[in-house]
Structure 1
């Protein structure tokens, strides 16, 4: 029986993207004469895509922009962020070694993120990570974002896997919900961006470092074998 595909979230799971996302947020705010958002406050706003990040940043300061102005801010953000997407963003500690070990064991990987696909590919290209994933899919790839289970199922299928036999790895509520909605197990990393403890979302396994990922994957794979 084939091994399950491992589908990863991107921001806050594979890569610590907060420094570049927040630097871009405060740069576009400064360009519009708006006050900055603190790093810690902005970190918990990451995870649903750029436009929600902008809206959360504005809301935190009691600012509401008309839709045309928000759209202009969004476009400015995308242009700036794309140019600085990997200035300081880096894979989380232990990720590369964990992927090497799992790949040697025969596992394949995919990315299922609410980041736009082209930005996801660009980031992973610049970090020399794209080649490791059979599919890199964003909220726009299939027209549905997480936690819609079709986003995860279609990502797994695109990676050549069985949508009924896969493992999700993520850090946010959307990651846990998409896996649960698709009837798949989920591994939570507790070093991501969600402001709530990951235990509250009921993941199957929680890890605090990527050193623990191969063991967690092996445990869930064994459960598939029993079905």
Structure 2
């Protein structure tokens, strides 16, 4: 595989505090009960608006929830985030082989770009692909289709690495094999059911499965 697409949240970085804290902020502003951060980890990975629809029990106030979330996330939450242990060594290894590395995240690229720069990851990635603030390409299938077109990539020569079913299914819908990471937020059953070709327990295992 000469092209590697990495998910961001739950794959390159652990965004738990920033994402769940910003959801708590939005729910509080809406005057609704606020779950604990641990109770909100299922929201890490899926498209944000869909998570608010589920949290609110319908479409009503979902857009306002996203707006309030971004109010906090855009200034505080995106930096409440840490790199996973071993991810830099993995990126060093893959980058040294001459492979093209890309980020492919449902997160809006205006936030994803800032996170990539904050952690000094820009040197590894040819480009960061994310959604638009209006929801365009928030679906992983649409995002990866766009990324393949933009990079003139043969899907048979690419691989997707992610921690949630959305990554695996989005890759499969574009003919891209996928590796599921168990150190993120999806879990073995979710990733296996979605069709992950391989599962890895740590970033250090990723290069071996790509080779």
- Tell me if TM exceeds 0.5: yes
What is the aligned partner in structure 1 of residue 173 from structure 2?
Answer: 181
Deviates more, 1:114-123 or 1:47-56: 47-56
- 5 Å-filtered alignment, 1:102-117, equals 102-117=94-109
TM-superposed deviation, 1:21: 0.4
- Asked whether the equivalents of residues 190 and 197 of structure 1 are also in contact (C-alpha less than 8 Å), the reply is no
Write the mapping of 1:141-180 to structure 2, written as runs, cut at 5 A. Answer: 143-148=136-141, 150-159=142-151, 161-180=153-172
Q: 2:25 touches 2:68 (CA, 8 Å); kept in 1?
A: no
**Structure 1 partner of 2:204:** 211
How far apart are 1:73 and its partner, in Å?
2.8
CA deviation after TM superposition for structure 1 residue 37, in Å: 1.4
1:7·1:156 contact (CA, 8 Å) conserved in 2? Answer: no
1:132 corresponds to: 124
- In the superposition, the TM-score normalised over structure 1's length comes to 0.82
- Structure 1 spans left out of the alignment, 5+ residues: 219-227
Q: 1:145 to 1:51 in 2, by over 3 A?
A: closer
Instruction: Report which of the two has the higher share of strand.
Output: 2
For 2:75, the equivalent position in structure 1 comes to 83
Matching residue of 1:223: none
C-alpha deviation, 1:65, in angstroms: 6.6
| TM-score when normalising by structure 2 | 0.88
Mean CA deviation greater in 107-116 or 70-79:
70-79
The answer to whether the 8 Å contact 2:180/2:191 transfers is yes
Shift of 1:71: 2.4
Deviation of the 1:151 alpha carbon: 2.4
Aligned to 1:153, what secondary structure does the other structure show?
helix
Using the alignment, how far apart are the partners of 1:4 and 1:87 within structure 2?
31
Work out which of the two has the higher radius of gyration on C-alpha atoms and give 1 or 2: 1
Contact 2:8–2:104 (CA under 8 A) maintained in structure 1: yes
Deviations 1:114-171 (A, max 9, x none): 11111111221222223321121113399333342x4213314434643442010011
Residue in structure 2 matched with residue 46 of structure 1 by the alignment = 44
Q: Tell me, in whole angstroms, the C-alpha distance in 1 between the residues paired with 2:136 and 2:95.
A: 30
Cα distance, 1:76 vs. partner? 2.0
Q: Which runs of 5+ in 2 are unaligned?
A: none
**Distance in 1 of aligned mates of 2:125 and 2:146:** 15
